[in-house]
Chain A
Amino acid sequence: MPNLSRPHLSRRGLLATLAASPVAMALLTEAARAADLAASGLVGELQGPTMITDPAKWPTKFQEAPMLAERVKAGKLPPVAERIPAEPMVWQPLNETGKYGGTWRRAFTGPGDVENANRINASDKCFFWSADGSKIVPCVAKAYELSDDGKTYTMHLRKGMKWSDGSPFTADDFVFWFEDIYGNKEIVPTPTTDMSPQGKPGRIVKVDEVTVRFEFDVPYYLFEEMMAGDTLIGGGQSVRQSQKLSFGAYSPGHYLKQFLPKYSSLEEVNARAKKEGFENWLQMLHFKKDWSLNTELPTLGPWKTVQSINNPIWLLERNPFYYAIDTAGNQLPYMDKVQLTLGENLEVINLRAMAGDYDEQERHIDISKLPVLLDNQDKGNYKVHLDLGFAGSDFILQINQSYKADPEIRKWLTNADFRRALSLGIDRDQLNDTFWLGVGTPGSPVPGESMPQNPGPEWRKKWSVLDVRQANAMLDKIGLAKKDSAGFRVRTDNGERLRIQIVAIQAFMPFPKMSEMVGDQWQKIGIQADVREMERNLATTRVRNNETHIYTWNNGGTELLYLFPRHAIPVDPTEAYMGPEYANYYASGGTQGMKPDDPNILRIWELFTEAAGLKAEGRNHNAQEIWKILADQQYGIGTVGQSPAGLGVRLVSNKLGNIASRVCNAQHCRTPGNSHAETWYFKA
């Protein structure tokens, strides 16, 4: 067997012959890069339609889409004035009043890609975020109050609002969800912490037809954010009640009752399930309440499924009872249909996108194809927008703090100076240039400076700039001074080369290749990185079994830490690359997993747990403190972020109107959800 591993790597010989590099391509400075990005004309300003909340300015006469007018004429639908709530959501579109009609062509990757249209139907959430992603704004509900003690959250619904089948949408739908869905142990075996601050379960109470009250035993000021975020309680019906999930605060009780044993009998629902080809009533219920599968399910979003996701074309059609109108009195959405066409792999989708086969597509568009996408703009009659994100790192190396299989490796992974040295050994400009085409922001994993939880601009660079000399000095100092003949540092227990494994899977970005580049850069600090590309399920198993040293992913969603903490801190065992056993400990209240011996992690947990009971200012302060610890401790090594790499390369047909030049690209904005596709229209 020949020697197939890395050739002998000492660079002494090379350094001796080192002369000026004949490939002259200077890496751009940050300022120059920002100027270039502005010059490219691809990054616009955060914008969207304006919500009109003053009833005096609301229109009094209403119009509807021609396809619905026909149905009204045929007597199949009530007139438009009766379908719109007395208190509708009123939008002033971004540029102009649109025209009705047309089918929005888009791509999806199969039944697993339900999130694709969940997001464009995201106005079925109780509350949402403003176009810039900074403020909570009304959505399905028109207002809320949080009591001074933080224990009572009162939500006001829109008078006269209706489900897509015309039945009234009221407080009863929240009580039904709480008691009959969430409260049923067979449907929801594990209650969500979203509804149980500090482990104490909350309640949902009907005050009157349009008023719902959430009651908690402890202060829960965070709840207002939870209701607006992409959380289990606030996510909305589409995302939280599809794919066998049963969360999301309300359900169409008048429709779903027929599938529950409580309202007939177990025998009856089971018999019906058998008749319809399901194993039991529970399986039938999971199907019936999934908007992507069941075309009969009443919903609240702008479009509803008319051909289910299990087809080569997932077809959505306008909801005739949708609760939003424009300032001219036109019921939204403008576009009649959304047609999602199956594209088995990303290459196919990107190729079709370039041919102009999709009217708007930001999902599954690959940033590394940007030059080709730009080349084909005229041919495909589309325009490319880059929507920069807010998360600190689109490629983060999460260092497993609960690793224990090899005590020597554990010793180093849990050593702060070791982690800092690894971070100082990464040349982020190289990564940015190669994989982000220079459009990202290099630095630590802290969220963007415009976000309320950003700890301050100085934390962007904390331990997160290239400094090979300091990194080497730190590694020498902590006891890794000895090197082998090839210049790699050796283990202190047996003198063999210290090998740190990086597990990378091909997702979102080419993480394996990025890891290869980092591994190459770490040679200069004498660290041997073994990059392991794995299939996703296998990698997940390895993480759950606590077998990984370093796992690569992005830290999307952490820009609002409390709404999506799992990419930053070890609290959620579903994804806890920085310490699965610690997350088990936290999530189980100390009955499972491993208790951290690192006081900094215990401090993070303390700040995190405390935050739920704090008002916005205090919460954000706690988050800033957590980010300072994270940046200083480098549990996750940030590389390049705030880029358009995830969901931020947006192709929009020139035929579409009311398109924002930049869309809020973030988990809580449900990209492109909060740019409200119901206000887009076909110009011709």
Chain B
Amino acid sequence: MSATTAENKVAVASQRQLIWWRFRKHKLALVSAFIVAAFYLVAMFADTIAYTEPFDTQSARSYIPPQPITWFDADGHFHPTVNALKGKRDPRTFKLSYAPDPGETRDLVLFGHGYEYRLFGLIPTDIHLLGVSNSRPQDALFLLGTDQLGRDVFSRLVLASRTSLTIGLVGVVMSLVLGVLLGGISGLYGGWIDVVIQRVIEILRSIPTIPLWMGLAAAVPNSWTPQQVYFVITLIISLIGWTELARVVRGRFLALREEDFITAAELAGASQMRIIFKHMVPSFLSHIIAAVSLALPAMIISETTLSFLGLGLRPPAISWGVLLQDAQNLQTLALAPWLLVVALPVIVVILAFNFLGDGLRDAADPYG
């Protein structure tokens, strides 16, 4: 391709194409996009990927360490199996120990049967991505071990990701809409509307969130499930959280409304809404994208933090924060360090979101 044709191609390309080309160049962001997508895919099919009902307790399965998989049989054929386990509590040390029973193995199968659930809340099924032959998965399969109550860590981790990855989304979207709308109005009109909105923002920003969180958690009706409580609190927090975005948007509006192309649009008789959404918003889209891609991981972290502190989600709800809270004691470190594995997806997804945001911000402003 000659330089001229390439230039021509750029000249006639649509904004969307330009963004994509630019984004493609940011390799880290591209990989991160796949990671984030994979996480959300897991969240979407959480029940299918998990193989054990996350609340199924059994003392005889307490603190089983992660289970190794034997991938090939004695003849070297691909034939994944897991060993049955023999457990006992030492009467002197009170420690539980599990030894593989070499005589008894279970075949690992794809699309095996497990607990019943509804896929997407609609289709009843009991097919799970992984299963074992001749036995219930909750008795035989412990890929990442079990916790004190004998619940499978892998399944709980997968189901927790659904809570942790989705519950903040609504809050972020709401913050975004409110922030752009109110910030836009404030910046565009100025005058007394601007003064009122700015003072409201200042008041809202002065409210400390942790006491608010504690108060709200105590005030909600007794009959709500922990998820409902958390969801509503997230909404309320997002009603406060829009302020930062609104400030930035207002600033951009103040700058942009003096620009010639806005004056041109006004003279051409475009409506206010058209001016805002067609002309002004795209010109600071990059900033909004950056804000959102940073707000999402912030939401995930705040869920994890608050649950870890015992203020957010509480068991029996499962989220990354709740699972981490389970791991914050001595006996976990000494006897069951595999419970700490929860920290891994938190780190990975937060990093991925940040790289993705970085890439998107660069790409959204292809002329920049």
A residues neighboring B (CB under 8 Å): 1-14, 17-27, 36-37, 39-41, 347, 350-351, 354, 366, 368-372, 374-375, 429-434, 437-438, 501, 506, 512-513, 516-517, 519-521, 530-535, 538, 542, 547
Contact = CB atoms under 8 A, between A and B. Distances in A.
B140 A512 contact: no
Which interface residue of A17, A20, A41, A534 has the most chain B CB atoms within 10 A? A17
A24 B113 contact: no
A652 to B, nearest CB: 18
Given A1-B170, A5-B225, A9-B53, A516 B115 contact: no
7 contacts: A8-B118, A24-B85, A24-B101, A27-B60, A372-B331, A430-B58, A506-B310
Contacts of B68: none
The SS class assigned to the B binding surface is: mixed
B22 interface: no
Nearest to B230: A4
B94 interface: yes
Interface residues on B, range: 35 or more
B179 interface: no
A25 B146 CA distance: 15
B163 A4 contact: yes
B222 interface: yes
Contacts of B86: 24-25
A27 B89 CA distance: 10
Shortest beta-carbon contacts, A-B, top 3:
A22-B84, A36-B91, A25-B87
A387 to B, nearest CB: 16
Given A2-B121, A5-B225, A347 B330 contact: yes
A534 B135 CA distance: 38
Interface of B: 43, 47, 53-62, 64, 84-89, 91-96, 98, 101, 104, 106, 113-118, 121, 124, 126, 134-136, 139-140, 148-150, 162-163, 166, 170, 218, 222-223, 225-227, 231, 310, 314-317, 328-331, 334-335
B116 A437 contact: no
A18 B134 CA distance: 8
Nearest to A35: B91
A367 B168 CA distance: 37
Contacts of A10: 116
A433 B227 CA distance: 30
B92 A3 contact: no
B325 to A, nearest CB: 10
A6 B139 CA distance: 19
A501 B222 contact: yes
A516 B231 contact: no
B168 to A, nearest CB: 12
A434 B62 contact: yes
B225 A530 contact: yes
Contacts of A366: 329, 331
B330 A13 contact: no
A21 B61 CA distance: 11
A434 B64 CA distance: 13
Given A19-B134, A22-B140, A533 B314 contact: yes
A14 B138 CA distance: 10
B53 A13 contact: no
A537 to B, nearest CB: 9
A3 B121 CA distance: 7
B218 A538 contact: yes
Contacts of A21: 60, 135-136, 139
Nearest to A370: B94
A6 B55 contact: yes
B276 to A, nearest CB: 30
A348 to B, nearest CB: 10
B170 A40 contact: no
A35 B207 CA distance: 60
A19 B231 CA distance: 40
A40 B91 contact: yes
A294 to B, nearest CB: 34
Contacts of B47: 7
Given A350-B330, A533-B315, A430 B57 contact: yes
A516 B57 contact: yes
A372 B330 contact: yes
A7 B140 contact: no
Contact of A520 (B56, B61, B331): B56
B136 A17 contact: yes
Contacts of B124: 8
Contacts of A434: 57, 59, 62, 148-150
Contacts of B140: 22-23
Contacts of B139: 21-23
A531 B315 contact: yes
Contacts of A437: 89, 94
A262 B321 CA distance: 58
A501 B310 CA distance: 19
A39 B92 contact: yes
A516 B60 contact: no
Contact of B310 (A17, A20, A350, A535): A535
Given A10-B116, A374-B94, A437-B89, A517 B331 contact: no
B330 A542 contact: no
Given A7-B53, A13-B113, A19 B136 contact: yes
